């Protein structure tokens, strides 16, 4: 299981990266390596060129503003996990990160790498979906913004063109009174999620849910926003009956099946996991 | 022709420089170029943890890092744990509490525990089990490893006082 | 010394990264190999083109069977243990010629400057295949219209046999109750952390081949290499380096061992082949499916009158070891219990999958599983406590040694040598709180939590004979040298032998050097499997050490002019008891008996302080135990958490309790894997679907509870140390205890479990079925 031949490039500036992406055929970007390297070692990918982002300047900023948490594409998952700003403003990100692989994965793995790789079970993708993240992308023509819901284009494929690279992600923050919940089911600690659920709720002054976002990972090629569940929650008190109804509505979401996990199990799990995530979120919402 | 680069790095407090094919991962580099064979390869797809080393103090699966990426960095392998012939408390504890049988997963597990104890000097049993969840062992059932880790933590705290 | 938890002599090197595993070997001018393997489960091979691969820069050679043939005396590996049950022969070709019968079957070897380049070249080898129908299910394989696993074969039945005793018909005729159960079991792969590997080096001047192999059976490897390459034992030396776990599959001799050695011969350069994890899934043997269909007859008091049924076993595409695996399964079923009549018909089916050979437990876990499931079912039918029905049927200690109407594969009668089975069960149940559990279970249910408890007993044949040589020598340097055919793979063989020898010769492990698994050190040997080495090699070491000690004291008494009885061996010296000044080092005594030209040897003795012993012991030593498990089932996700696992076990006299604990706990971990996680999946075209460690699940630390081990010691009367084997025991009762506990947890839903492993998906599906029923 040794990697195939490739040409190795380690640029220092974003402009160099864009230049390489524009001029090279069959090139892949190397970020944390936790997803790409296994595929390379198994020869599931055969790039002619590997462009290493690890020495490029300016891609690792993690900052907060009034409206969002801004994270550069090369911010390590470990850094986000231990970030004070993340813990204060969007603790769901911290919760989700506990489920991402193991310590070793998160020491090297990056936000951008995970989002661009788009493994159906990726926790960070589920988080990006539930938080309606905004992605800033750089290409030869300049920068553009992509809403995360428009980012996945297919199974493990983003809408990025081969000449583009993800620069940073903005996670819009919620008011501090929001409640959050992240629940995942995996066979062993650190395994790929079979199904994961991210829930965010905000109560109005009348105690009723004024805003709700629910996303499911692992069900389909890309994270799914549970629109029906969200609609059921809106305006409700978040009582157990509503929680169950919202969760049960998720059993109808289309799911993938494979030799190890049938689709029906994923759908069953969706109902269970969403309920648990909602209960967590509602218990935290003030 | 195989594309190569010269890699300069510090391993176990010693400077090394060697030429390496760009497609060699860090484990291959340590084992073949530097002849430090204590770091083992169990899967080469980032699951078993046998290849775990510390890069700049952080545990890393060395099969998932290209050797060229380690240029300019500091690496700690199992060969660097003992100092002046004296075993690291974790190594001693593994010996005292039967934390190894075939020894193949041991170097990776030791380095993972070094990182744990650096940031969490007084771990609970759960902390230890979660910390080594990325290090597979087929021999021990983990109990001897966990026992050794907890005893080593106590030993290190005692010495620190 | 015996019975002490001394620190292991293996540890220092392994802890400091100084171990020498096969991939750590680096010989001058060494080349690296990779194998071309079939991507098809069944295909005709129309041709192999290697020119493009040979043209890759850095490639030294590409060898197919055609290239290897001139160097081989045979084209197939004939390794099957003898048996009258074979209905056809299915030996592995050294390299596939015109047909491949499983995904992973090797066809060619590529040798290059690096493994990377070798893999590049493997992709350039062009093989023309004509894909044929593949057989993926061992039951379907036996159907009249099934496609053939091998084109030229008459059918897919590899072997069949019957095991049994007593009058089964009468037993069922008289029965108050008859339980019928279909049970399916799947055990998976070995997956030691270190995969296989071979380094071969040929010295053309001396015409000698040295082969390092990560193997459990170096002498078998030597014999096969000699046979296949037409050489004698002085020309082939097999050395086991440090081995990173064996667990069964490394006891097999493989195609890659002879082909890699042959490559070294042909190229006149050392060749290294290291199996990678993906290869391990398809290149190394494994266990898989057994399907049992059984009936159990009982009287009104819950005593078992008889068991009968059939079993179909998936053998894989070829014979890599023999029919022993299902034979052991069949044989083990009634071992601990007083069952007067038994009959099992067994069929071994060929399939187009990786060949099957023993994984830790070697078929015995399956026998234990069916018996324990039947007893649970019987207890249910009779409204009896599961512990009580076992009490009524376990063979009591008063009957020991207890002959059973069974024979081992070599025709040796089964006699349970010692063991108090009832006491083990009693202790395990007391520790886990069996009696108080129903109240706790009720309380949990009222909170919407489902906890369950289960138990299982096992008896395991250990110490497979007939012998294992050990040489003990005190050299003129004063070092105590021990050589053995036994092979170490992590189970502390060297420490075990050193302790046994140290008990007689000075009690200082640092003065003892143990060389295991090197054919240059011992002419004959069998190796490590069947939990045999403490019994077989331990006994040999003991007998040899006693002889050496006697001679040591005789020579020393002659030298010091003191009676033998007044002497003691301490550290590296012989000294007069109570007189510290009067002593001789072991080296001095060894020199005294090593001869001076023209002078008589002392005391008219023979030369040297050395003994080679290999006592023959055919009868097996039977270890036993009881596991009790407590689980919690999440009825929504189907997740199972093993909250407690108690195992009371008896492996006779323990040489090193710390090491015994490690073996038991390691076995239990493997059992938890077999109960809940491990599944080697193939699809309906016999393509593997679990091909990496993210898909094939080995337990990690958070899945393990703290295992509570209760030791019992019923010494075996069969060997002077009283020891029995322990390496595999932890697996056997763990699987059924956990399955039983899951069923107990889900009893409000009426869920019945007759298979292993049980996954969360299974549980959710069963709960769904129960709900709609």
**For C104-118, what is each residue's pLDDT tens digit?**
999 999 999 999 999
- Dihedral sign, CA of C118, C122, C125, C127? positive
Chain A touched by C596 (CB under 8 Å) = no
pLDDT tens for A17-46 read 999 999 999 999 999 999 999 999 999 999
Report DSSP letters for B1-36, one per residue. Answer: ---EEEEEEEETTEEEEEEEETT-BHHHIIIIIS--
Beta bridge partners of C59: C112
Alpha helices in C383-515 (DSSP H): 386-393, 421-432, 437-446, 493-504
CA dist list (Å): C654 to B140, C7, C460, C712, C725: 18, 15, 16, 9, 9
Chain B touched by C673 (CB under 8 Å): no
The per-residue pLDDT for C580 is 81
Q: With contact defined as beta carbons under 8 Å apart, do B94 and B111 qualify?
A: no
Instruction: Flag if B66 and A30 touch (Cβ within 8 Å).
Output: yes
pLDDT at C174: 81
Burial class from Cβ neighbours inside 10 Å (0-12, 13-18, 19+) for residue A239 reads exposed
* Main-chain phi, psi angles of C29, to 5 degrees: 65, 20
pLDDT digits (tens, 9 = 90+) for C177-206: 999 999 999 999 999 999 999 999 999 999
Crossing angle between the packed helical segments C364-382 and C386-393, to the nearest 10 degrees: 110
CA distances for C491 relative to A12, B138, B140, C647, angstroms: 51, 12, 10, 19
CB contact under 8 A, A8 and B46: no
The residues that bridge with C157 in the sheet, in sequence order, are C349
- B29 at interface of C, judged by CB pairs closer than 8 A: no
Please indicate whether, in this complex, the C-beta atoms of B94 and C15 are within 8 angstroms of each other. Answer: yes
| Cβ neighbours of B24 in C, within 8 Å | 116
Contact (CB<8Å) B44/A1: yes
Matching residue, tokens 């190594």: B91
Instruction: Enumerate neighbours of C (3 or more CB pairs within 8 A).
Output: A, B
Q: What order of strands is seen across the sheet that includes strand A49-52?
A: A7-9, A49-52, A27-30
Residues of A in contact with B23 (CB under 8 A): 2-6, 8
Q: Which residue from C7, C490, C668 is facing B139, i.e. has the nearest CB?
A: C490
Question: Among partner residues A1, A4, A273, which is closest to C277 by beta-carbon distance?
Answer: A1
- Has residue C773 got a pLDDT over 90? no
Exposed/middle/buried for residue C744 (C-beta within 10 Å: 0-12, 13-18, 19+):
buried
Distance CA A65, CA C476 (A): 80
Strands C579-585 and C573-576: antiparallel
From residue C56, how far is each of B2, C61, C122 by CA, in Å? 11, 10, 10
Q: Is the peptide bond before C29 cis (omega within 30 degrees of 0)?
A: no
Mean pLDDT of chain C: 97
The number of helices, as runs of H, and strands, as runs of E, in chain A is 11, 14
Does pLDDT of C397 surpass 90? yes
Mean of pLDDT values over B40-50: 98
For residue A75, what are its two tokens?
């911010």
Q: Does any CB of chain C come closer than 8 Å to the CB of residue B22? A: no
User: What is the mean predicted confidence (pLDDT) over C278-303?
Assistant: 98
H or E element, residue A66: none
Give all chains having 3 or more CB-to-CB distances under 8 Å with chain A.
B, C
Per-residue model confidence (pLDDT) at position C277: 98
- Dihedral angle at the C-alpha atoms of C98, C99, C105, C106, nearest 10 degrees? 0
Residue C603 confidence (pLDDT) above 80: no
CA distances from C591 to C513, C594, C595 (A): 19, 5, 7
CB contact under 8 A, B44 and A41: yes
Half-sphere exposure of C262 (CA within 13 A, CB side): 32
Residues in a beta bridge with C350: C316
- pLDDT band (50, 70, 90) for residue B50: very high
Give chain B positions within 8 Å (CB) of C13.
103
Q: For B110, which residue in chain C has the nearest alpha carbon?
A: C15
d(C-alpha C271, C-alpha C263), whole Å: 7
Beta-carbon-side half-sphere exposure of residue A202 (alpha carbons within 13 Å): 12
Binning chain A into helix, strand and coil, the percentages to the nearest 5 are 35, 25, 40
Angle ∠(C301,C305,C308) on CA atoms, nearest 5: 135
| Residue C113 and residue C51 in contact, taking contact as beta carbons nearer than 8 Å | no
- Return the residue of A nearest to B21 by Cα: A5
Residues C471-513 pLDDT 10s: 999 999 999 999 999 999 999 999 999 999 999 999 999 999 9
For residue C558, is it left (φ>0), alpha (ψ between -120 and 50) or beta?
alpha
Is residue C221 scored above 90 in pLDDT? yes
pLDDT digits (tens, 9 = 90+) for B17-42: 999 999 999 999 999 999 999 999 99
Location of structure tokens 């048996």: C83
Q: What domains can you pick out in chain B, each with its CATH number?
A: 4-80 (3.10.20.30), 89-160 (1.10.150.120)
Cβ proximity of C714 and C722 under 8 Å:
no
pLDDT, tens digit, for every residue of C153-179? 999 999 999 999 999 999 999 899 999
Q: Give the neighbours of chain B: at least 3 Cβ pairs within 8 Å.
A: A, C
Residues of A within 8 A of B130 (CB-CB) are 189
Size of chain A in residues: 286
pLDDT recorded at residue C658: 97
Distance in angstroms (rounded) separating the CA atoms of residues C523 and C503: 26
Contacts of A3 in chain C (CB under 8 A): 116
Asked if the C-beta of B35 comes within 8 angstroms of chain C's C-beta atoms, the answer is: yes
For residue C401, say if its preceding peptide bond is cis, omega within 30 degrees of 0.
yes
Q: Are C636 and C493 in contact (CB under 8 A)?
A: no
Is residue C757 reached through a cis peptide bond, with omega within 30 degrees of 0 on the bond before it?
yes
Smallest CA–CA separation between A8 and chain B, in Å? 7
User: Beta strand pairing status for C236-239 and C208-213?
Assistant: parallel
Distances in Å between the Cα of A194 and the Cα atoms of A102, A217, A267, B46, C760 are 16, 8, 10, 19, 11
Of C561, C562, C582, C564, nearest to C573 by C-alpha is C582
**Do A107 and B134 make contact, defined as CB atoms within 8 angstroms?**
no
Establish if B52 touches chain C: CB-CB under 8 angstroms: no
Q: How confident is the model at residue C294 (pLDDT cuts 50, 70, 90)?
A: very high
Name residues whose C-beta falls within 8 Å of residue C62's C-beta, 6 or more positions apart in sequence: C50, C53, C54, C108, C109, C110, C111, C121, C125
Split at pLDDT 50, 70, 90, the class of A182 is very high
User: CB-based contact (8 Å) between C700 and chain A?
Assistant: yes
Cα–Cα nearest to C37, from C326, C212, C339, C275: C275
Residue C604: the pLDDT is 81
Q: What is the ipTM of this complex?
A: 0.98
CB A206 within 8 A of CB A238: no
- Chain B and chain C share a number of CB contacts under 8 A equal to 183
Residues of chain B contacting residue C34, judged by C-beta atoms under 8 Å apart: none
* Helix, strand, coil shares, percent, chain B, to 5: 40, 20, 40
What percentage of chain C has pLDDT greater than the value 90? 97
**H or E element, residue C569:** strand C567-570
Q: Which of B31, B125, B141 sits opposite C665 (nearest CB)?
A: B141
Band of the pLDDT at A51, cuts 50, 70, 90?
very high
């Amino acid at each position: 299981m040794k990697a195939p031949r490739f040409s190795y490039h380690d640029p220092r500036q974003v402009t160099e990266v864009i230049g390489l992406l524009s001029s090279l055929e069959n090139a892949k970007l190397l970020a944390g390596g936790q997803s790409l390297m296994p595929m390379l070692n198994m020869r599931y990918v055969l790039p002619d060129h590997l462009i290493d982002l690890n020495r490029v300047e300016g891609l690792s900023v993690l900052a907060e503003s009034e409206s969002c948490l801004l994270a550069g594409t090369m911010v390590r998952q470990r850094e986000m996990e231990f970030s004070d700003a993340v813990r204060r403003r969007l603790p769901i990100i911290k919760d989700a990160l506990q489920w991402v692989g193991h310590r070793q994965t998160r020491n090297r793995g990056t936000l951008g790498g995970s989002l661009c790789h788009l493994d159906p079970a990726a926790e960070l993708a589920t988080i990006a979906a539930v938080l309606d993240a905004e992605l800033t992308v750089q290409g030869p023509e300049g920068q553009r913004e992509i809403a995360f819901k428009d980012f996945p284009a297919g199974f493990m494929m983003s809408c990025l063109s081969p000449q583009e690279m993800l620069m940073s992600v903005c996670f819009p923050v919620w008011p501090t009174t929001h409640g959050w919940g992240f629940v995942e089911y995996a066979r062993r600690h650190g395994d790929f999620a079979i199904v994961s659920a991210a829930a965010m709720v905000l109560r109005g002054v009348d105690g009723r849910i004024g805003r709700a976002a629910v996303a499911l990972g692992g069900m389909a090629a890309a994270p799914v926003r549970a629109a029906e569940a969200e609609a059921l929650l809106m305006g409700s008190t978040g009582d157990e009956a509503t929680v169950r109804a919202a969760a049960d509505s998720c059993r109808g979401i289309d799911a993938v099946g494979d030799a190890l996990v049938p689709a029906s199990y994923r759908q069953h799990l969706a109902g269970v996991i969403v309920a648990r995530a909602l209960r967590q979120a509602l218990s935290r919402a003030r | 022709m195989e594309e190569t680069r010269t890699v300069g790095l510090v391993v176990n407090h010693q400077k090394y420089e060697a030429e390496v094919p760009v497609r060699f991962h860090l484990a291959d580099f340590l084992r073949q170029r530097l002849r430090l064979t204590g770091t083992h390869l169990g899967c080469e797809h980032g699951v078993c943890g046998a290849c775990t080393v510390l890069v700049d103090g952080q545990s890393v699966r060395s099969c998932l890092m290209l050797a060229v990426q380690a240029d300019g960095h500091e690496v700690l392998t199992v060969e660097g744990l003992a100092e002046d012939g004296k075993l690291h408390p974790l190594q001693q504890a593994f010996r005292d509490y039967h934390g190894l049988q075939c020894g193949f997963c041991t170097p990776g597990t030791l380095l993972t525990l070094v990182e744990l104890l650096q940031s969490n000097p007084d771990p609970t049993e759960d902390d230890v089990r979660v910390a080594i969840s990325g290090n597979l062992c087929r021999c021990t059932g983990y109990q001897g490893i966990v026992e050794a880790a907890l005893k080593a933590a106590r030993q290190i705290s005692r010495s620190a006082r | 010394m015996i019975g002490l938890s001394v620190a292991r002599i293996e540890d220092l090197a392994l802890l400091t990264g100084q171990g020498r595993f096969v991939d750590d070997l680096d010989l001058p001018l060494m080349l690296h190999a990779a194998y071309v393997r079939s991507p098809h489960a069944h295909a005709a091979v129309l041709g192999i083109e290697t020119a493009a691969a040979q043209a890759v820069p850095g490639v030294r050679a590409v060898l197919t069977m055609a290239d290897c043939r001139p160097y081989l005396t045979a084209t197939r590996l004939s390794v099957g243990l003898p048996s009258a049950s074979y209905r056809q022969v299915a030996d592995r070709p050294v390299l596939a010629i015109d047909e491949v019968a499983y995904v992973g079957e090797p066809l060619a070897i590529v040798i290059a400057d690096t493994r990377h380049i070798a893999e590049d070249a493997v992709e350039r080898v062009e093989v023309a295949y004509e894909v044929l129908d593949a057989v993926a299910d061992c039951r379907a394989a036996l159907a009249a219209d099934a496609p053939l696993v091998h084109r030229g074969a008459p059918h897919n039945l590899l072997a069949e046999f019957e095991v049994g005793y007593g009058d089964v018909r009468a037993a069922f005729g008289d029965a108050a109750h008859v339980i019928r159960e279909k049970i399916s079991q799947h055990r998976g792969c070995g997956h030691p952390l270190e995969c296989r590997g071979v380094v071969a080096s040929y010295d053309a001047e001396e015409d000698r081949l040295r082969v390092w192999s990560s193997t459990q059976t170096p002498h078998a490897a030597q014999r096969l290499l000699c046979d296949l390459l037409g050489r004698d034992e002085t020309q082939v030396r097999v050395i086991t380096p440090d081995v990173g776990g064996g667990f069964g599959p490394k006891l097999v001799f493989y195609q890659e061992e002879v082909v890699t050695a042959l490559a070294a011969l042909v190229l006149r350069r050392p060749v290294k082949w290291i199996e990678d994890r993906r290869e391990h899934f398809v290149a190394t043997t494994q266990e898989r499916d057994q399907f049992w269909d059984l009936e159990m007859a009982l009287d009104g008091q819950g005593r078992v009158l008889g068991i009968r049924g059939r079993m179909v076993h998936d053998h894989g595409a070829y014979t890599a070891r023999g029919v022993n695996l299902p034979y052991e399964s069949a044989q083990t079923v009634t071992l601990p219990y007083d069952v007067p009549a038994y009959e099992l018909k067994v069929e071994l089916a060929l399939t187009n999958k990786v060949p099957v050979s023993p994984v830790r437990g070697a078929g015995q876990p399956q026998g234990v599983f069916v018996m324990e499931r039947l007893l649970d079912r019987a207890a249910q039918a009779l409204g009896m406590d599961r512990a009580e029905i076992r009490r009524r049927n376990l063979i009591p200690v008063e009957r020991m040694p207890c002959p059973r109407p069974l024979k081992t594969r070599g025709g040796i009668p089964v006699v349970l040598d010692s063991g108090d089975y009832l006491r083990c069960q009693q202790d395990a149940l007391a520790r886990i709180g069996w009696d108080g559990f129903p109240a706790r279970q009720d309380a949990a249910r009222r909170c919407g939590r489902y906890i369950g408890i289960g138990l299982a007993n096992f008896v395991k044949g250990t110490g497979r004979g007939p012998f294992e040589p050990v040489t003990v020598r005190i050299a003129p340097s004063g070092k105590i040298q021990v050589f053995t055919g036994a092979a170490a793979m992590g189970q502390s063989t060297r420490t075990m032998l050193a302790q046994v020898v140290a008990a007689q010769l000075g009690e200082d492990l640092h003065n003892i050097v143990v060389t295991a698994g090197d054919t240059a050190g011992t002419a004959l040997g069998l190796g490590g499997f069947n939990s045999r080495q403490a019994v077989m090699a331990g006994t040999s070491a003991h007998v040899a050490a006693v002889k050496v000690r006697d001679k040591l004291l005789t020579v020393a008494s002659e030298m010091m002019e003191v009676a033998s009885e007044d002497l003691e061996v301490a550290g590296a010296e012989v000294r007069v008891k109570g007189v510290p000044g009067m002593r001789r080092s072991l080296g001095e005594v060894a020199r005294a008996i090593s001869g001076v030209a023209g002078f008589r040897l002392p005391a008219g003795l023979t030369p040297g302080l050395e003994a080679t012993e290999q006592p023959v012991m055919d009868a097996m030593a039977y270890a036993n135990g009881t596991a009790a498990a407590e689980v919690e089932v999440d009825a929504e996700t189907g997740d199972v958490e093993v909250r407690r696992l108690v195992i009371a076990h008896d492996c006779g006299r323990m040489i090193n309790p710390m090491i015994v604990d490690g073996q038991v706990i390691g076995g239990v971990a493997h059992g938890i894997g077999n109960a809940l996680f491990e599944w080697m999946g193939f699809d309906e075209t016999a393509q593997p679907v679990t091909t990496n460690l993210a898909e094939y699940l080995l337990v990690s630390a958070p899945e393990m509870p703290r295992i509570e081990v209760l030791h019992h010691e019923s010494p075996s009367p069969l060997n002077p140390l009283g020891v029995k084997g322990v390496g595999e025991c932890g697996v056997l009762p763990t699987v059924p205890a956990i399955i039983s506990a899951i069923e107990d947890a889900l009893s409000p839903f009426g869920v019945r479990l007759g298979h292993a492993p049980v996954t969360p998906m299974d549980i959710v599906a069963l709960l769904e079925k129960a709900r709609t029923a």
